[in-house]
Amino acid sequence: MRPAKIKNKTSAGGVVFRRDGTEDKVVLISVRDRTAWTLPKGAIEKDEKREATAIREVAEETGINARIVTSLGSIAYWFYKRTENAKYHKRVYYYLMEYLSGNLDNRDPEVNEASWFGIEEAIKKVTYNGDREILLRAKEILKRL
């Protein structure tokens, strides 16, 4: 077997929040054929800015329009794609985003489910440690807003 090729991918996404009485709620998605709960994100298209990608991907994957409040930084991880015999290094830039309008029922069909969760519940519910790290950053910023 040939050694795996190394490839890079860059994505952007967001932690969309809304104030619900005393509790901040955030949106998580579950992608089809997976039981994983994660944050909405997607690939940055050619000549697209990270912020524009985050707004576009959140709208596509959740049906929600949101505005960026601040950056939450980025996370990076590796994954292997057997069909390409390639190891990918993926970096995802995240933004804290405030809900403006929209309905979770208007999401892209690739997303199995989208739902609002209290931030504490979301931190426990997400499948990936990177998402948990981003949600913890968001929680700290939301305390100050």
Assign residue 28 the CATH number of its domain.
Answer: 3.90.79.10
What local confidence, expressed as pLDDT, does residue 32 receive? Answer: 66
Domain hosting 94: range is 5-144
The pairing of strands 86-102 and 37-38 is unpaired
Domain total in the chain? 1
Q: Which residues, at least 6 apart from 78, have a Cβ–Cβ distance to it below 8 Å?
A: 87, 88, 89, 90
What is the CA angle 13-135-104, rounded to 5?
55
- Tens-level pLDDT at each residue, the chain (145 residues): 788 899 999 999 999 999 988 889 999 999 866 789 999 999 999 999 999 999 999 999 999 999 999 999 999 999 999 999 999 999 999 999 999 999 999 999 889 999 999 999 999 999 999 999 999 999 999 999 8
pTM here is: 0.93
CA distances from 131 to 19, 73, 142 (A): 20, 12, 16
